[in-house]
Amino acid sequence: MVSGQEYCLDCGVRLPGPGAVDAARGMRSGWVIRAALALVVAMAGAALAVAATDGRSDRAALVTATGGFATVPASTTLPPPSEDGAADVADWPAGEDGWTIALATLPQTGGRRVAVARAQKAGGRGLSQVGILDSSQYASLHPGYWVVFTGIYGSEAEATSALQPARRFARTATVRRIVP
């Protein structure tokens, strides 16, 4: 018989005493003890968390911010027509900030007449409050462009709700914030 032999080589009967099988059983029982200990620690942590909340439900009210301006611009009417004779095209109201829908952004090197023609075409297609603004006059826009717009809105949500009719005229129409 050799040290660590568990079975008789002649008849196959298990030999008495500690062997490889008993050592494996000892290892198996070791992980069970560690797992049970981890479970006890987790349950103690859960009990402490419940005790720390003390069962109170005095939760603070959840407030959701939706963005936009706190106040609506003072005037939603456009000024009289511009000096180049376009009867139905206007400029952005002086000193007011708000939201609008930009129908086209045209380089100023092409001249204002191109922008006026685009604005008149938009007005002829049923869009209201169509106007032109000089992007160089507004901090929220890149300078050097004529922006053909439709509508003056107090919030981004209002402008977005009017976007679909504008996209029938210009597929690339976008909502823009206008800040002097």
In this structure, what token pair is assigned to residue 146?
């004529």
Residues 41 and 117 in one domain: no
Residues 103 and 167 in one domain: yes
Q: With beta carbons less than 8 A apart as the criterion, state whether 83 and 112 touch.
A: no
Predicted confidence band of residue 81 (pLDDT cuts 50, 70, 90): very low
Q: Does the residue 62 lie in any domain?
A: no
**Among 46-55, 62-71, 130-139, the range of highest mean pLDDT:** 130-139
- What confidence tens digit (pLDDT) does each residue in 160-173 have? 988 888 888 888 89
Domain containing 146: what range?
90-178
Asked if pLDDT for residue 18 goes beyond 80, the answer is no
- What confidence tens digit (pLDDT) does each residue in 112-155 have? 898 898 888 888 888 888 999 888 888 888 899 999 999 888 88
Q: Does the residue 156 lie in any domain?
A: yes
pLDDT of residue 82: 46
Q: Does the residue 70 lie in any domain?
A: no
Asked if pLDDT for residue 41 goes beyond 90, the answer is yes
Residues 99 and 146 in one domain: yes
Q: Does the residue 78 lie in any domain?
A: no
Residues 107 and 174 in one domain: yes
Q: CA 178 to CA 152: how far, in whole Å?
A: 9
Asked if pLDDT for residue 39 goes beyond 50, the answer is yes
Instruction: Give the CATH number of the domain where residue 101 resides.
Output: 3.30.70
Asked if pLDDT for residue 179 goes beyond 80, the answer is yes
Q: With beta carbons less than 8 A apart as the criterion, state whether 80 and 94 touch.
A: no
SS3 131: strand
pLDDT of residue 79: 47
What average pLDDT does the chain have?
79
Q: With beta carbons less than 8 A apart as the criterion, state whether 141 and 106 touch.
A: no
Asked if pLDDT for residue 85 goes beyond 50, the answer is no
Pairing of strands 174-178, 130-134: unpaired
Q: What is the mean pLDDT of residues 33-58?
A: 84
Q: Does the residue 149 lie in any domain?
A: yes
Q: How many domains would you assign to the chain?
A: 2
